[in-house]
């Protein structure tokens, strides 16, 4: 997405987390991991392993990716298996979390179709595609899909995650030492919805080129 590049991969394990077994939870599970490679930013970003812990931002983003994709997948139909989503940022120019969600949706659709093709499940468990986009207010004007320089300058930071039928999974918005009006919020929402619709169309085109039907 622009100059932001994220590799999104899915691997499936034929088991579920221990807490599901202990609590008698049926179906499967989906979880995500997110990381930025050291050379993905202008100044080198140390690997989390060198600090001995995952930083707060990475933890927040991978939880967001997991929530977004669990809203799109029928975990009962997935069966007793775990779907791991790995999102690795190769190059960061703003919007890495939204690019990760949008790319992960494609990877999950392909993985779900593969499960069905291999007769491990009757039908792909993905309910719908999901996409995400950033928005903000820069110099009093609402904009969408912020790059790094725009992200540094905005007075309002906003992220939208929605399904292909326009239902929201998550909205994240805050003023950067500033406030924003209802009209600005409405404008960011409108730009975000339009951007997500365009991303869903692009996802559909890619899946069609791979001859993959998500559901």
pTM metric for this prediction: 0.92
| pLDDT bucket at 198, cuts 50 / 70 / 90 | very high
Cα–Cα dist 62/54, whole Å: 11
pLDDT in tens, 109-128: 999 999 999 999 988 999 99
Given a cut of 70, whether residue 74 has pLDDT beyond it is yes
Tokens of 51: 């600090």
Helix (H, G, I), strand (E, B) or coil at 177: coil
| pLDDT bucket at 145, cuts 50 / 70 / 90 | very high
Given a cut of 80, whether residue 151 has pLDDT beyond it is yes
Helix/strand/coil (H/E/C) assignment for every residue in 164-175: CCCCEEEEEEEE
Helix (H, G, I), strand (E, B) or coil at 122: coil
Cα–Cα dist 118/10, whole Å: 16
pLDDT in tens, 161-176: 999 999 999 999 999 8
Please compute the mean of the pLDDT values over residues 138-167 and round it to a whole number: 94
| pLDDT bucket at 83, cuts 50 / 70 / 90 | very high
C-alpha distance from residue 22 to each of 18, 19, 73, 96 (Å): 6, 5, 22, 35
DSSP string, 74-120: -HHHH-S-EEEEEEEEEE-SS-HHHHHHHHHHHHHHHHHHHHHHTTS
Please compute the mean of the pLDDT values over residues 135-161 and round it to a whole number: 94
Burial class (CB within 10 angstroms; exposed 0-12, middle 13-18, buried 19+) of 195: buried
Given a cut of 70, whether residue 158 has pLDDT beyond it is yes
Quick one: pLDDT at residue 52? 67
Helix (H, G, I), strand (E, B) or coil at 27: coil
pLDDT in tens, 85-108: 999 999 999 999 999 999 999 999
Average pLDDT across the chain, whole number: 92
| pLDDT bucket at 69, cuts 50 / 70 / 90 | very high
Domain at 5-209, CATH class: alpha beta
Bridge partners for 103 per DSSP: none
Q: Tell me the domain boundaries of the chain.
A: 5-209
Q: Please identify which residue in the block is written with the tokens 């939208």.
A: 160
The residue among 152 and 177 whose pLDDT is bigger is 152
């Amino acid at each position: 997405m622009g100059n932001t590049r994220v590799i999104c991969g899915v691997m499936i394990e034929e088991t579920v987390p221990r807490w599901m077994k202990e609590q008698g939870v049926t179906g499967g599970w989906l979880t995500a991991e997110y990381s930025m490679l050291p050379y993905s930013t202008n100044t080198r970003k140390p690997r989390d392993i060198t600090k001995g812990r995952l930083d707060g931002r990475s933890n927040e983003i991978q939880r967001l990716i997991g929530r977004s994709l669990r809203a799109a997948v029928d975990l009962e139909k997935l069966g007793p298996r775990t779907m791991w989503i790995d999102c690795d940022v190769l190059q960061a120019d703003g919007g890495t979390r939204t690019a990760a969600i949008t790319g992960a949706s494609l990877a999950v659709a392909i993985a779900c179709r593969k499960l069905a093709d291999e007769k491990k499940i009757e039908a792909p468990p993905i309910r719908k595609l999901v996409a995400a986009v950033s928005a903000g207010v820069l110099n009093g004007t609402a904009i969408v899909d912020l790059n790094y320089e725009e992200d540094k300058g905005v007075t309002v930071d906003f992220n939208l995650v929605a399904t292909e039928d326009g239902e929201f999974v998550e909205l994240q918005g805050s003023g950067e030492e500033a406030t924003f009006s209802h009209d600005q919020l409405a404008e960011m929402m409108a730009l975000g919805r339009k951007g997500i619709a365009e991303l869903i169309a692009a996802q559909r085109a890619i899946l069609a080129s791979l001859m993959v039907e998500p559901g």
